[in-house]
């Protein structure tokens, strides 16, 4: 079986609002107030918790304060777990495209650098977990993206051969993961960093999920 594997944050769902809220909980606890903006800093949010803490600390003039970053990272994860789906929404047409791919005979799965437990929780809260045949998180395996093995394992667990898959993502990490695995990537242009995707030279760009089935068919048959 051929498989279509998706990144989660910034690809299937806009999770930036809830991630920013969790990071700001940390900065409030430090006595600094909300240091991150849910719109202006959305791109940083989709790069993960540590990236958000680093950005906020840099604005406080503490760019090298790794001890504070390490101390607050677990608090960020806890705050995020407690309010993981307040602002998060699936991108328009995402699940329609996934269902169409399944009906066309493709396996579908997720490969994310979000911790597995948080990814599973979010997908359950959004009511879409059962649609996907596999879900590999940052800590499911000993390695994470851009190592190719999480992508390859996501394809296997979705019932496919890892040489016959495509990765749908939104970052250089996704592009590099697919390249390392020797398979094509499709990068979405509707996320916060959408304008930067063309420079990464993926096999395809995606402006609208309605076009995804045709793009997948062209790339992997």
Helix axes 212-220, 94-103, angle to 10 degrees: 40
Contact predicate 114/138, CB 8 Å? yes
54 — pLDDT class (breaks 50, 70, 90): very high
Q: So what's the pLDDT on residue 193? A: 85
For residue 111, the SS3 value is strand
Going 76 to 114 to 85 to 121, the CA torsion angle's sign is negative
Annotated catalytic residue, options 7, 18, 41, 174: 7
Residue 9: is its pLDDT beyond 90?
yes
220 — pLDDT class (breaks 50, 70, 90): very high
Provide the pairing of β-strand 89-90 with 107-111: unpaired
As a whole number of angstroms, the distance between CA 54 and CA 41 comes to 12
pLDDT digits (tens, 9 = 90+) for 120-153: 999 999 999 999 999 999 999 999 999 999 999 9
Q: So what's the pLDDT on residue 191? A: 87
160 — pLDDT class (breaks 50, 70, 90): very high
CB-side exposure of 181: number of CA atoms within 13 Å? 29
| Mean pLDDT of all residues belonging to the chain | 97
Q: What average pLDDT does range 85-113 have in this prediction?
A: 98
pLDDT digits (tens, 9 = 90+) for 27-36: 999 999 999 9
Domain made up of 3-14+88-220: CATH architecture:
3-Layer(aba) Sandwich (3.40)
Provide the pairing of β-strand 107-111 with 13-14: unpaired
Q: So what's the pLDDT on residue 138? A: 97
154 — pLDDT class (breaks 50, 70, 90): very high
As a whole number of angstroms, the distance between CA 205 and CA 56 comes to 31
Residues near 23 by beta carbon (within 8 Å), at least 6 away in sequence: 35, 36, 45, 49, 52, 53, 56, 76
Distances (CA, A) of 38 to 20, 24, 111, 194, 208: 6, 10, 25, 17, 23
Domain ranges across the chain: 3-14+88-220, 16-82
pLDDT digits (tens, 9 = 90+) for 190-214: 988 888 999 999 999 999 999 999 9
Instruction: Look up 207 and say whether it is catalytic.
Output: no
Alpha helix locations (H) across 38-170?
42-45, 49-59, 66-82, 94-103, 116-126, 149-157
């Amino acid at each position: 079986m051929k498989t279509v594997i998706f990144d989660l944050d910034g690809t299937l769902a806009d999770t930036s609002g809830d991630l920013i809220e969790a990071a700001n909980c940390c900065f409030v606890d430090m006595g600094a107030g909300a240091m991150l903006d849910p719109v202006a800093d959305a791109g940083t949010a989709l790069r993960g918790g540590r990236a958000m803490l680093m950005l906020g600390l840099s604005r406080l003039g503490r760019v090298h304060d790794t001890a504070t970053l390490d101390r607050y990272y677990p608090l960020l994860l806890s705050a995020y777990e407690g309010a993981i789906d307040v602002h998060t929404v699936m991108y328009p047409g995402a699940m329609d495209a996934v269902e169409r791919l399944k009906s066309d005979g493709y396996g579908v799965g997720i490969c994310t650098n979000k911790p597995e437990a948080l990814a599973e929780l979010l997908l359950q809260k959004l009511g879409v977990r059962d649609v996907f045949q596999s879900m590999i998180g940052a800590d499911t395996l000993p390695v994470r993206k851009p190592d190719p093995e999480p992508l390859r394992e996501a394809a296997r667990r979705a019932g496919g051969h890892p040489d016959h898959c495509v990765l749908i993502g939104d970052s250089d990490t996704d592009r590099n993961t697919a390249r390392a695995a020797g398979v094509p990537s499709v990068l979405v242009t509707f996320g916060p960093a959408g304008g930067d995707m063309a420079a990464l030279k993926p096999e395809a760009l995606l402006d609208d999920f309605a076009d995804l089935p045709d793009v997948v068919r062209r790339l992997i048959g």
